[in-house]
Amino acid sequence: MAGAGDAVEILPVEEDVALDWETELEQGNRDSADELRHYQSSDFATLQGEINALHREITSRDILLRKLEESVTRLSEDIAPLKDYVTAKMQEEAHSARSQSSGSSEGGASQDGDQGTEEEENNRAQNRCVDVMMSLTEIRENNEEKTQKVRGFYEKIYKASPFTSLMLTFLERNRGVKVLIDCDSSNISNLVRRLVNLDGEKCDGTAFHTFTDFFQCTVYLGGKTGQYEVYERNQYVHKNCDPEVSLAQSLAQMVMYYIFKNRGCPYGCDDAMYEKLYEKILLETSQKKTSGACVDDLINYALNMKSSLAREVTLISVIPGMLVKYGSKGGMSRLLDQKPLLTLFFMQHVIPKMTN
């Protein structure tokens, strides 16, 4: 047994064990370091991939947004020529009215034979179009008075604006729509009991002045002037609902359905550019309303729809609705003032499709 000051002798076997343990420890440390570097490298590669993917997504989004901004800018720049067009159209109509008045004072003879011929051709085109629309229309408990009333609806829509007459002409040529009208009621409850609206809600017919059933290609209309309630200046106000305005909007929605085949939206299912542009216009419209800017009741109604689909389908139909409600001059003036981009979208995207 060794004493207190004796040196401890390390046997060769013990020395070998100690060296092996140190070697294993160093190797384990190296393995751990290598494994850590591997994980770090793997995590970095994954992170780098995610960053690259995000960068590509942001870049694509920036490109799309830049294109959208350019489209909106181009639309904004086109407002001035549109106003010039409206002014020229109003002057043309005023000149036509003066010529008709002058001709009447001289026994109805027209001072301009060519103008008289053009006017006669326009009247024939209008009568032909209205006749076709009447043939596509079924009036509940019909009589001569109701027939003339409904015919007046179509005549007013046709005369309201070149855009609304084009809309009826499109329907005249396609002849796929069916219109059901109840002249004795301001709602459609006698025509259809229950339906599912664009918000996906099951509703009773009493809730609608008009309704567009895309799947049945049918428009329902309460042909009697009714009232609706709106909140203005901290109070509820009752306003009239004109059947011809409601009819114009529903027919416009059906035209959108025929042209774009996309649930009544004013763009094709695979047309991402115009879809994003229209969404941007809708957002701009909603923000303008939120800011307290004055907008028409028809616009308010469209924006108050619950679902995005309902808002998109209803908003585009505001344009023919306002043209019929206020006339060509008054309607276009309000549209250019309140919704210029929407108006340009309608003119540059929808009208060419309707024409073709």
Q: What is residue 239's predicted lDDT score, i.e. its pLDDT?
A: 72
Mean pLDDT of 119-138: 95
Q: Does residue 318 register a pLDDT over 60?
A: yes
Answer whether residue 130 is part of any domain.
Answer: no
Residue 270 token pair: 């695979």
Owning domain of residue 326:
136-355
Q: Does position 261 have pLDDT exceeding 70, yes or no? A: yes
Residue 313 lies in a domain: yes
Is 53 inside a domain boundary? no
Domain assignment present for residue 83? The answer is no
> Which residues in 284-317 are b (16+ Cβ under 10 Å) and which e?
ebeebbeeeeebbbbbebbbebeeebbbbbbbbb
Place of tokens 């114009």: 248
Percent of the chain topping pLDDT 90: 51
pLDDT in tens, 82-108: 555 555 544 554 454 445 444 444 444
Q: What is the mean pLDDT of the chain?
A: 79
**CATH number of the domain enclosing 165:** 3.40.390
Name every residue whose Cβ is closer than 8 Å to that of residue 299 and which is 6 or more positions away in sequence.
285, 289, 315, 318, 338, 339
Does residue 28 fall inside a structural domain? no
Is the confidence at residue 33, as pLDDT, over 50?
A: yes
Whether the per-residue pLDDT at 259 is higher than 50: the answer is yes
Does some domain include residue 287? Answer: yes
Count of domains for the chain: 1
The pLDDT confidence band at residue 1, using thresholds 50, 70 and 90, is: very low
pTM: 0.70
Tokens encoding 155:
């005549």
- For the stretch 106-114, contacts whose Cβ atoms lie closer than 8 Å and that sit 24 or more positions apart, written own/partner, are none
CB 319, CB 346: distance < 8 Å: yes
pLDDT of residue 291: 72
179: exposed, middle or buried (Cβ count in 10 Å: 0-12, 13-18, 19+) = buried
DSSP single-letter state for residue 11? P
- Asked whether residue 149 is domain-assigned, the answer is yes
Nearest to 222 by CA among 232, 201, 208: 208
Answer whether residue 176 shows pLDDT above 60: yes
Residue 243 lies in a domain: yes
Model pLDDT, residue 268:
96
